[in-house]
Every structure is written in C-alpha cells, then in structure tokens.
Structure 1
Amino acid sequence: MKSVMSGLMLLALCSGSGIASAADVEESVILNSSVSSVWKLVGNFNGINQWHPAVRESEQDGDVRLLTLRDGGHIREVQLAHDDEHHLYRYRMDQSPLPVAGYEAEIRLETVANNKTRMIWKSHFEAVGVPEAEAEQTIRTVYRTGMDNLARRFNH
C-alpha cells in the first residue's frame, strides 16, 4: 500500500511540472467515393501536397518525406508501414514546427457502404512547450483541414 501511495504522490507531483504527457488524437470523415478511388489520392505517401492545403511540396527519398508548408515551415516524416491491401500507412514525424515529440500516426481507409469510405487519421505523441490540450487541438486542426479538403473534393 505504501508503494502505491508513493506512486500516486509522484504522479500528482509530475502532472503539473511541465513533464511531457502522452496524447492521442483521432479524427475521421466519410467520403462519397470508393476506397480504391480515395486510396489513389491519399495512399501515396509522397502525395499529401495533392490533398492537404497546408502542404506546398512533398519530396520523398526512400521512406523519408520532406514537406514544405505553405507558411514556409518544414516537416520530416518517416514511413513505418504501407499496406495497399488494407489501405493504410503509418509514419513518424522526426522534425516539425508543431508542439509535439514522439509523434507516430496512421492513416487508414475503410469501406462504409457502396461508394462510401471512412478515412481515419490517428496519432500518439507528447506535447512539448504547450499544454497537452493545446497540442491536441493543433493536431486536430491539421487533420480536419486535410479531411475537410478531401470532403469538398469527394462529397460535392
């Protein structure tokens, strides 16, 4: 019991000390198109600039992509897995102006009905330099911006 109480006290002390805490974000959107049609656009790891309005340019060398953002920022990401059969890829972000560290994400597509696809974009990371809620909102905004653009494209 004493060790449990000590652990709880340590947790309470650390929670307000600025130590990074883990966060999870998941967003999804329904698109009025087949999984294969959406995957042709979204499944290209180097093609995010074709559907995400914040990305001006994407360059890929092996499993590494370098993104140039419209605001001039740069992001370096590494593809960890790519599965065309299951319509998903996973990646980690190594360098970014975003307030996160240890960021790993997955983009996955699922058939919902004939010519309807659910896109799921989820991640796990630690907030850095800002409260966890602020980092989560930043990542949600990134996801929603891309998904809203896809919805305009496929749900016209």
Structure 2
Amino acid sequence: MQTETARIDIAKPAAEVWALVGEFGGLDTWMSGVDSCTVEGDVRTIETMGMTLTEKLVGRDADARSITYSIVGEGAPVTAHEATITVHDSGADASEVTWDVSVEPDEAAPMFRDIYQGALGQVKTTLEG
C-alpha cells in the first residue's frame, strides 16, 4: 500500500476546525461533489459524481482530533483504502490539517491525495470565509 499526505494551514483554532472535519456524517457540508452523506452506526454512505461509496469508521479520537475511515465494498477504484484526518494545533488561532491516505493499487494514491488536497482547500475557504 502506498501512503500519500495532503496538508493545509488554516487560520482558525484547532477546536473549530475539528468541529467541522471530525463529524463523520458531515462530509456533504464541506466537500464539493458530495451530493449526500448518511450514517448508520459506523458506516457512512456517500453519493458523489454518480457513484455510491460506503465507508466504515475505523476510529475517532476527539482528544487527538483524529478520525480514520476506510472505503469498504464496491464503488471506488481501490482494493484497499484507509484515510486519517488529523487537526494539529498551530497556535491560538491556527491549525494544520493533514489527511493521510493509504491505498492499493499504489498508483491510486496520488489521485486520492489530490482529491483530499482540494477538499482541505474547501475546509479552509469554509472556515476562513
């Protein structure tokens, strides 16, 4: 499995950023292209670009401001996927957000990194205005 990382600095406190990205069922509120996001237990179903993706919550640590999930089932061009979004405190009014993704096949990793980098840009725009 190949791992890639998207990252961005956001001029908002980590708690505020975490309140947005740490909500497993809130993806459709900040990631463009996501038409709907529903959660049942620890599984979320995403409707995006004519596809249905099913993702399973692997872990969520509010103290560490980290959430990990994996794509399960059909719908994505991968045989394995795990991603972790982490919000790091960079001072009173600043945060760094990383989105690590490990996927198979390896050649899909840069594509996911680029998608996640774009989504982090949307988080920045949403929070900074």
Query: TM over 0.5: same fold?
Result: yes
2:113 aligned with 1:140:
yes
SS at match of 2:86: strand
SS at match of 2:46: strand
Q: Which residue of 1 aligns with 2:55?
A: 77
Cα 1:35–1:126 change in 2 (3 A) is: same
2:124 aligned with 1:151:
yes
Quick check: 2:42–2:56 contact (8 Å CA) kept in 1?
yes
Query: What is the CA distance between 1:103 and its match in structure 2?
Result: 0.4
Alignment partners' CA distance in 2, 1:86 and 1:49: 23
Larger CA Rg, structure 1 vs 2: 1
2:72 aligned with 1:94:
yes
Alignment partners' CA distance in 1, 2:120 and 2:50: 21
Q: Which residue of 2 aligns with 1:122?
A: 100
Normalised to the residue count of structure 2, the TM-score between the two structures is 0.92
**Which stretches of structure 1, 4 residues or longer, exceed 4 Å deviation after superposition?**
none
Normalised to the residue count of structure 1, the TM-score between the two structures is 0.77
Note the aligned Cα RMSD (angstroms). 1.4
Alignment partners' CA distance in 2, 1:118 and 1:56: 27
Q: How many residues align?
A: 129
Q: Which runs of 5+ in 2 are unaligned?
A: none
Query: What is the CA distance between 1:96 and its match in structure 2?
Result: 4.9
Q: Which residue of 2 aligns with 1:60?
A: 39
Identity %: 21
Which of the residues 68, 85, 104 maps onto 2:82? Answer: 104
Q: Which runs of 5+ in 1 are unaligned?
A: 1-21
Quick check: 2:6–2:114 contact (8 Å CA) kept in 1?
no
Ranked by relative contact order (alpha carbons within 8 Å, sequence separation 6 or more), the top structure is: 2
Letter in 2 for 1:25: E
